[in-house]
Structure 1
Amino acid sequence: MSAKIWEAEWDVSEDLAQRLIGRQFPQLAARPVRRLGHGWDNTVYRVGDEYVFRFPRRDIAVELLQREGMLLPKLADRLPIPFPKPMFYGGVDDEYPCPFLGYTYVSGTFPIGLSDEQRTASAPVLAQFLKSLHSTPVSIAKEARAPLDHRNLRDVAARKERMQRFLSDLSALTQEEEIRTVAGYLERLEIGPLTQSDVLLHGDLHFKNMLVDEAGRLSGIIDWGDIGIGHPGCDLNIVYSFLPAKARSRFFEEYGEVDEATKGLARMMAVYIPMLIWMQALDAKEEAVAAEARAVIRRALED
């Protein structure tokens, strides 16, 4: 496998998290601290019942976390789905070289193993959420120095080449049918000129950054580190990765229609993102996450 771009530069143990939080926010010192897990960029701890703290585990994550701290408060009255609100801005400490951030806790679980009916039920609220986010004035993001197209999303050829490298890495680890399916998709992949206007993006929408309630309804959107300005196809990947084919027209009825090139880009990202998650899950031996990533790819390529 190629270099593991998700590997940490720093880790924060539960004891260290307790000390950092207690020193900088004495009002929270008596709250229990419990590790929730980690993503590529941050280690995450729940603090009591009300808060969650994220500690950067890679240098690149520091700027992303700071951008969240500036931008998320500006979205508080704009979005119809709960998301973590920054509350506690931690600074560099003798024991830890990075700033860190504490937020309101958003309850829910990752949408793993949901039925098509459960997914379809969330189509309207997901469409309302993205419509609200994408209609937010980009000037708000520019004032916070949010990047423009920092994923270089419009370079379809480069992303396609990267996906072919990922496919090679995955082929060395598994013989799943999805490998052949993705290979065939990439051979046929052509996306026309991208003309859609830039919008304010979440930037990293996938099943590990979404939460659902006990009934499987969408209940929260988390991890806004990649918030920025760019092509809406980046966020619209969720139409293909989360929703079954039969629910997509319902989504666009609420969100508004987009051109075919945007839909093509969204579908490509709906395959690209779970390929990365699949590789990381195989490396970490997270079987349930790997299985969900495979299911996402199958769903994304449904017509």
Structure 2
Amino acid sequence: MLVTLARRHGLRVRLLELDESGWDFLVGHAVDEDGTHWVLRVPRRRAVSELIEGERRLLAHLRPRLPVALPDWEICTPELIAYRRLEGRPLGPEHPTTLEHQWWREPTEGFFTELGAVVAARHRTQLSEVERLGIPVSGHRDLREEVDDHLRLARGMFVVPAEKVARWRSWIDDDHSWSGPADLRLVHADLHPGHTLVDESGQLTGILDWTDAAVDDPALDFVAVHNAFGEGGLTRLLAGYAQAGGGVRAGFESHVRLLSEFRFSVSLGMYAVESGRGEFWEVAQRRLLA
């Protein structure tokens, strides 16, 4: 299918590998007759197709403004995206069913400094510019209301320990934990190790998959690192962010921890229910009971 789609759009390639781990796209790694390597992305759902044009405009806007490589789409249609493969490899792609990271190498100290600088640079993007690109813009209460709704629904679908319910309930109800209108930033919102490219030395070279980009709570750019690397990773990323001029509000680090814990258990469970991914339901339940 991928090769046929590519040929329909004038790109003749041979498929090398099919990656079905992505939640939003089926991805193919291919090579053309000149030996150039390509990445082919096919959206899994109509809702994802509707985000493609906004993502294309955002990438074009950010490429000259960020100190890291971003995909440059040469084919962009509702049914197929194709771009020349960027240098580097994903640091730690997720296993398609267990969601455990499959590490290529250990991240270096410089990785967190570099990633923090990229996040800080992106957070300085003028929101008025982002709105013109057609990127989703959330209200400052949207994420909080989503979390509240997910917790209510999850208690009827999963076994959720009482101590976790109490901790999350206290967090949701605490006005000081959450972003105000002035705190919102342009976020990637899915910066897990499978979307960060590194070279042989461990230096950050590129960032992939901007489908979830939006104007939203800046904590969304820190939760995946906390989930993957724990407290040490979060501390190092925040240090790199601050070194590059990024500022955070009081209580931000605690907010990131709680949001990370919640999104990678409760919100994962909600996604599993909505998408019918039973294997993700099981992962979410295990994490809730851990």
Q: Specify the code of the residue in structure 2 equivalent to 1:269.
A: L
Partners in 2 of 1:253 and 1:210 — Cα distance?
Answer: 20
Aligned-pair CA distance for 1:201: 1.9
Task: Quote the residue 1:100 is aligned against.
Answer: 80
Partners in 2 of 1:207 and 1:153 — Cα distance?
Answer: 28
Task: Quote the residue 2:27 is aligned against.
Answer: 44
**Matching of residue 163 in structure 1 with residue 151 in structure 2:** yes
CA gap 1:251/1:153 in 2 versus in 1, 3 angstroms? farther
Partners in 1 of 2:81 and 2:228 — Cα distance?
Answer: 28
Task: Quote the residue 1:67 is aligned against.
Answer: 54
Aligned-pair CA distance for 1:113: 6.2
Secondary structure, counterpart of 1:32 in structure 2: strand
CA gap 1:43/1:259 in 2 versus in 1, 3 angstroms? same
Judge conservation of contact 2:70–2:207 (CA < 8 Å) in 1: yes
Aligned-pair CA distance for 1:60: 0.6
Partners in 2 of 1:284 and 1:109 — Cα distance?
Answer: 26
Aligned-pair CA distance for 1:290: 4.9
Q: Specify the code of the residue in structure 2 equivalent to 1:86.
A: W
From 207, 212, 220, the counterpart of 2:206: 220
Judge conservation of contact 2:189–2:214 (CA < 8 Å) in 1: yes
Secondary structure, counterpart of 1:200 in structure 2: strand
Secondary structure, counterpart of 1:234 in structure 2: helix
Judge conservation of contact 1:69–1:101 (CA < 8 Å) in 2: no
TM-score, scaled to structure 2: 0.73
Judge conservation of contact 1:240–1:267 (CA < 8 Å) in 2: yes
Q: Which moved more, 1:213-222 or 1:119-128?
A: 213-222
Q: Which moved more, 1:197-206 or 1:209-218?
A: 209-218
CA gap 1:81/1:198 in 2 versus in 1, 3 angstroms? same
Unaligned runs of 5+ in 2: 93-100
Judge conservation of contact 1:153–1:234 (CA < 8 Å) in 2: no
Percent identity reads: 21
Partners in 1 of 2:59 and 2:260 — Cα distance?
Answer: 24
Judge conservation of contact 1:136–1:200 (CA < 8 Å) in 2: yes
Partners in 1 of 2:136 and 2:183 — Cα distance?
Answer: 15
Q: Specify the code of the residue in structure 2 equivalent to 1:89.
A: C
Alignment of 1:150-229 (within 5 A): 154-163=142-151, 165-166=153-154, 169-171=157-159, 182-183=164-165, 185-189=167-171, 190-192=174-176, 194-195=179-180, 196-213=182-199, 218-229=204-215
Q: Specify the code of the residue in structure 1 equivalent to 2:81.
A: L
Task: Quote the residue 1:88 is aligned against.
Answer: 75
Judge conservation of contact 1:119–1:217 (CA < 8 Å) in 2: yes
Judge conservation of contact 2:195–2:207 (CA < 8 Å) in 1: yes
Kindly tell me the number of residue pairs found equivalent between the two proteins. Answer: 263
Aligned-pair CA distance for 1:186: 1.6
Aligned-pair CA distance for 1:22: 0.6
Partners in 2 of 1:76 and 1:223 — Cα distance?
Answer: 13
Task: Quote the residue 1:19 is aligned against.
Answer: 4
Aligned-pair CA distance for 1:32: 3.0
Unaligned runs of 5+ in 1: 1-15, 91-97, 173-178, 299-303
Q: Specify the code of the residue in structure 2 equivalent to 1:273.
A: R
Judge conservation of contact 1:119–1:244 (CA < 8 Å) in 2: no
Q: Specify the code of the residue in structure 2 equivalent to 1:201.
A: V
**Matching of residue 34 in structure 1 with residue 3 in structure 2:** no
Aligned-pair CA distance for 1:216: 5.4
Question: What CA RMSD, in Å, does the superposition of the two structures yield over aligned residues?
Answer: 3.8
Aligned-pair CA distance for 1:128: 0.2
CA gap 1:271/1:229 in 2 versus in 1, 3 angstroms? same
Q: Specify the code of the residue in structure 2 equivalent to 1:163.
A: L
Judge conservation of contact 1:18–1:33 (CA < 8 Å) in 2: no
Judge conservation of contact 1:239–1:251 (CA < 8 Å) in 2: no
Partners in 2 of 1:40 and 1:226 — Cα distance?
Answer: 11
